[in-house]
Amino acid sequence: MTQRTTPFTLEQVGTGTARFPSAGPIPTVTDMSVDPYILTRMSKAAHVEALQFWPQEKGTYPGLVVLHEAWGLNVQIKELANRLACEGYAVIVPNLYTRQGGMVTANAEAAGMLMARAKEADLLQDISQCCEFLNTRDYVKRNVHGVIGFGMGGTLAIKFMSQRKRLRTAVSFYGALRPPFDFLNNLHCPFLYHWAGADESVNAADIEQFRRTAQEQGKRVTIHTYDGAPHAFCDETRKETYRPDAAQTAWDRTMEFLAESFKADL
């Protein structure tokens, strides 16, 4: 993909790691400054491990939770998160395989096994906690959050967007979109779906049913179709599926969509 002119450069983006409980309260920066050992006394139950990317210029920014594909939290997703931070977003990328040792793979069979072992309820809880974590950062606008996912992460974005009423926006790149679509009853934010036209895992009739149901309910849903593009057409590391023109168009549309979604909060 070609580089856009962005508000910040890579040199102006800070990075870091995060680890916090998958449930319960999350210590704030103030908590940790008052009690430097608070993290050592936290529950030993399941934790979320994540990467952070945010503009270093003093200010507050909308938060984005970025959800990776079945391959794990790989270089491709890190680069996308960096690019989003350059656009002016405070980004957190949870490792959705933390409970499985945080594995990353390029093997399709191994990726399928990792995805199958992951429990959806646990992952959705982790994503919710990422939003709560963002609320503890002094550079993030409180409760001004969105979610954006790719592949497996795109499917989770669809699942999650109707579970958090305060979510500002949601974007799914070629996530699974299958009926029933009852979750639309609880969807309160605008949703952008990028459909890979040659993705055999997604049924055209299901997409049309989703579009029609969303329109009937007055939901703010936008669907873009990329004719001839396969699943994972935005993944530059997979030469067999990468389609640079479609990827660039999808990225530009996503940036416009996010800017519009957060317009009232800027």
Does residue 1 form part of some domain? no
How far is residue 50's CA from residue 65's CA, in Å, rounded to a whole number?
10
Q: What number is the average pLDDT over the span 103-121? A: 97
Beta bridge partners of 90: 63
Predicted pLDDT at 44: 62
Answer whether residue 125 is part of any domain: yes
Domain that holds residue 81: 10-265
The answer to whether residue 122 sits within a structural domain is yes
List the CATH number of the domain containing 65: 3.40.50.1820
pLDDT tier, 264 (very low <50, low <70, confident <90, very high otherwise): confident
Average pLDDT of the residues in 65-91: 98
Please write the tens of the pLDDT for every residue from 125-142. Answer: 999 999 999 999 999 999
Alpha-carbon gap, residue 88 to 64, rounded angstroms = 10
Total domains, the chain: 1
Q: Evaluate whether residue 108 is within a structural domain.
A: yes
Whether residue 4 lies inside any domain: the answer is no
Query: Radius of gyration over alpha carbons of the chain, in Å?
Result: 18
pLDDT of amino acid 4:
76
What is the C-alpha separation between 150 and 194, in angstroms, rounded? 10
Alpha carbons 71 and 265: distance in angstroms, whole number: 34
* Mean pLDDT computed over 84-106: 97
132-165 in b/e burial notation, b at 16+ Cβ within 10 A? bbbbbbebbbeebbbbbbbbbbbbbbbbbbbebe
The SS3 call for residue 179 is coil
In a domain, 239, yes or no: yes
User: Are the CB atoms for 195 and 223 separated by under 8 Å?
Assistant: yes
In 3D, which of 195, 228, 233, 189 has the Cα closest to residue 211?
195
Distance between first and last Cα of the chain: 27
Of all residues in the chain, what percent carry a pLDDT higher than 70? 92
* DSSP one-letter string for 194-259: EEETT-TTS-HHHHHHHHHHHHHTT--EEEEEETTPPTTTT-TT-TTT--HHHHHHHHHHHHHHHH
Average pLDDT, the chain: 94
The pLDDT score that the predictor gives to residue 39 is: 58
* Within-domain flag for 89: yes
Model confidence band, residue 33 (pLDDT cutoffs 50, 70, 90): low
pLDDT number for residue 37: 59
Residue 79's Cβ-side half-sphere holds a number of Cα atoms within 13 Å equal to 9
Note the pLDDT tens digit of each residue in 160-209: 999 999 999 999 999 999 999 999 999 999 999 999 999 999 999 999 99
Q: What is the pLDDT of residues 233-263, one digit of tens each?
A: 999 999 999 999 999 999 999 999 999 999 9
Is 150 within the bounds of a domain?
A: yes
Does position 43 have pLDDT exceeding 60, yes or no?
no
Q: Is the pLDDT of residue 32 over 70?
A: no
Number of C-beta neighbours around residue 82 at 10 A = 16
Tell me what pLDDT residue 142 has.
Answer: 96
pLDDT of residue 53: 99
Average pLDDT over residues 67-90: 98
Residues 214-228 have pLDDT tens digits of 999 999 999 999 999
